[in-house]
């Protein structure tokens, strides 16, 4: 058994774990990150692309905002399309000047990984059987195996940044945790293609055939989604079939502007809302997808990981600098207050924009009334705008 010691053991090298690791490193707090897969595998994941100013600020605080500031696309509005029309929501005008930044999660994960490598901070990849232990006591530790050797990391705290399927939340005794979940009766079929986006801003489309989203990664790389069955077979979709279905779901003026081309990534993602309460168990703190999942309709997953890490880092820094546990004791309640606002918003956007099997005629009319109110009321559009750009930390 190889024994190591650190102040904060971080399980998970996604955005949450990497951001926390970088902030702790800059604050002189020793930490080790463990992940079960390689850096290359993590960088191969295709994920979200919309950053709130709060998340962008966290990257700046971590000293990794340079490429995002140079290459990220500031956006001041989105379009909501339905009944053949596109309606712009002036995000910036209705949120006191806030914007969102289009910058792929893969890119910011790379920026954080590069910073960690440059800092010489310890990350252990392809670690197997990672498990948190004794986090309800004063001497927590993490075990893992690598290359056939068992290891133990003694630490002060454990950050469970290991995503929805990770071991941290699952290590919490059932009576100590309560979960809330809604699984949606559909998924998103998404593609990436090296073609210019159909529009300068994102288009969220409600259509009788199903939801569609027009997004992007840059001015030359587009990201499109269409609502599909939760168990849709991605291999049943040729690029041509995807493009035709996407166009059917967009207003005619937008559909004729779509530039098609070969996809280089195509996948189906399920949609669920999930929250675990609390987010702290003694010396174990859950952050990011380990604690909550939102349907991507509101583009909140990555942004919630950032605000969780803001609260957790502040608590850890306060502990090591001032000897106070106040921030750590407040972590779960503070994080969950913001999580539930984003969960609500993501649920609302999903409910308003998707076709549900049990909607029925009454539900259909309610959805149409919701959309008409949204684009006809300053108050309704302002409510969407302030949630989309991100509520305060
Ligand atoms: N042992 C070690 N690491 C693990 C284990 C395990 N048993 N299980 C999962 N992990 C790692 C995964 O390999 C992954 O790299 O934990 C990491 C979790 O990262 P993410 O899933 O990206 O979660 P998070 O950092 O919270 O970021 C949330 O990612 O999934 C998107 O929509 C989500 O944009 C949001 C963001
Ligand atoms: C994306 O670009 O992947 C994206 C954008 C907005 C969303 C969801 C996904 O709401």
Is 299 close to ligand 2, i.e. is its CB under 6 Å away? yes
CA of 321 to the centre of ligand 1 (A): 29
Q: How many residues does the chain have?
A: 393
Per the annotation, the verdict on 373 as an active-site residue is no
Could you tell me the fold of the domain covering 185-271+358-370? D-Amino Acid Oxidase; Chain A, domain 2 (3.30.9)
If you take atom 9 of ligand 2, which residue's CA is the nearest one? 48
Residue boundaries of the structural domains of the chain:
2-54+103-180+272-349, 185-271+358-370
Atom of ligand 1 nearest to the CA of 144: 1
Is 160 close to ligand 1, i.e. is its CB under 6 Å away? no
CA of 359 to the centre of ligand 1 (A): 33
If you take atom 3 of ligand 2, which residue's CA is the nearest one? 48
By the 10 Å C-beta count (0-12 exposed, 13-18 middle, 19+ buried), 149 is classed as: exposed
- Measured distance CA(242)–CA(263) in Å, rounded: 10
Is 346 close to ligand 2, i.e. is its CB under 6 Å away? no
Is 49 close to ligand 2, i.e. is its CB under 6 Å away? yes
Per the annotation, the verdict on 310 as an active-site residue is no
Is 297 close to ligand 2, i.e. is its CB under 6 Å away? yes
Place of tokens 């990664």: 217
- Measured distance CA(298)–CA(306) in Å, rounded: 15
Q: How confident is the model at residue 181, as a pLDDT? A: 98
CA of 142 to the centre of ligand 1 (A): 17
Q: Output the CATH code of domain 2-54+103-180+272-349.
A: 3.50.50.60
CA atoms within 13 A on the CB side of 108: 34
Whether the link from the prior residue into 76 is cis, omega within 30° of 0, is no
pLDDT tens for the chain, residues 1 to 393: 679 999 999 999 999 999 999 999 999 999 999 999 999 999 999 898 999 999 999 999 999 999 999 999 999 999 999 999 999 999 999 999 999 999 999 999 999 999 999 999 999 999 999 999 999 999 999 999 999 999 999 999 999 999 999 999 999 999 999 999 999 999 999 999 999 999 999 999 999 999 999 999 999 999 999 999 999 999 999 999 999 999 999 999 999 999 999 999 999 999 999 999 999 999 999 999 999 999 999 999 999 999 999 999 999 999 999 999 999 999 999 999 999 999 999 999 999 999 999 888 888 889 999 999 999 999 999 999 999 999 999
3-class state of residue 166 by DSSP: coil
CA of 376 to the centre of ligand 1 (A): 40
Closest CA to 290 of 25, 35, 2, 24: 35
Alpha-carbon dihedral angle through residues 54, 60, 62, 65, given to the nearest 10 degrees: 110
Pairing verdict, β 31-34 and 122-124? parallel
By the 10 Å C-beta count (0-12 exposed, 13-18 middle, 19+ buried), 362 is classed as: exposed
Q: Please report which ligand is nearest the Cα atom of 112.
A: 1
Is 296 close to ligand 2, i.e. is its CB under 6 Å away? yes
Q: How confident is the model at residue 1, as a pLDDT? A: 67
Q: Please report which ligand is nearest the Cα atom of 35.
A: 1
Torsional class of 63: left (φ above 0), alpha (ψ -120 to 50), beta (otherwise)? left
72 within 8 A of 105, measured Cβ to Cβ: no
């Amino acid at each position: 058994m190889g024994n190591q010691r650190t102040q904060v053991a971080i399980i998970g090298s996604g955005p949450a774990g990497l951001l926390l690791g970088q902030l702790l490193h800059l604050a002189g707090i020793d930490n080790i990150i463990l992940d079960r897969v390689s850096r290359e595998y993590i960088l191969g994941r295709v994920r979200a692309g919309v950053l709130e100013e709060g998340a962008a600020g966290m990257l700046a605080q971590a000293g990794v905002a340079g490429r995002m500031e140079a290459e990220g696309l500031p956006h001041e509005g989105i379009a909501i399309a339905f009944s053949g029309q596109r309606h712009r929501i002036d995000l910036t005008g209705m949120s006191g000047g806030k914007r969102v930044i289009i910058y792929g999660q893969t890119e910011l994960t790379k920026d954080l990984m590069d910073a960690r490598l440059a800092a010489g901070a310890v990350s252990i990849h392809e670690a197997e059987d990672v498990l948190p232990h004794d986090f309800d006591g004063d001497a927590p530790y993490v075990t893992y195996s690598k290359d056939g050797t068992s290891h133990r990391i003694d630490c002060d705290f454990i950050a469970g940044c290991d995503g929805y399927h990770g071991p941290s939340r699952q290590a919490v005794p059932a009576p100590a945790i309560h979960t809330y979940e809604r699984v949606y009766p559909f998924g998103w079929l998404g593609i990436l293609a090296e073609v210019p986006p159909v529009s300068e801003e994102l288009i969220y489309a409600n259509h009788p055939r199903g939801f569609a989203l027009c997004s992007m990664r840059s001015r030359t790389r587009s990201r499109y989604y269409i609502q599909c069955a939760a168990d849709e077979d991605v291999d049943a979709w040729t690029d041509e079939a995807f493009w035709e279905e996407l166009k059917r779901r967009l207003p005619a003026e937008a559909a004729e502007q779509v530039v098609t081309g070969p996809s280089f990534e195509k996948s189906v993602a399920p949609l669920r809302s999930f929250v675990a309460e609390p987010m702290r168990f003694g010396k174990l703190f859950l952050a990011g997808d380990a604690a909550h999942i939102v349907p991507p309709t509101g583009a909140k997953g990555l942004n919630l990981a950032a605000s969780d890490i803001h609260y957790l880092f502040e608590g850890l820094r306060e502990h090591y600098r001032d000897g106070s546990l106040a921030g750590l004791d407040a972590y779960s309640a503070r994080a969950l207050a913001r999580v539930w606002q984003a969960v609500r918003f993501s649920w609302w956007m999903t409910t308003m924009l998707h076709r549900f099997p049990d909607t029925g005629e009454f539900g259909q009319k309610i959805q149409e009334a919701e959309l008409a109110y949204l684009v006809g009321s300053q108050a309704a559009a302002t409510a969407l705008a302030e949630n989309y750009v991100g509520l305060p930390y």
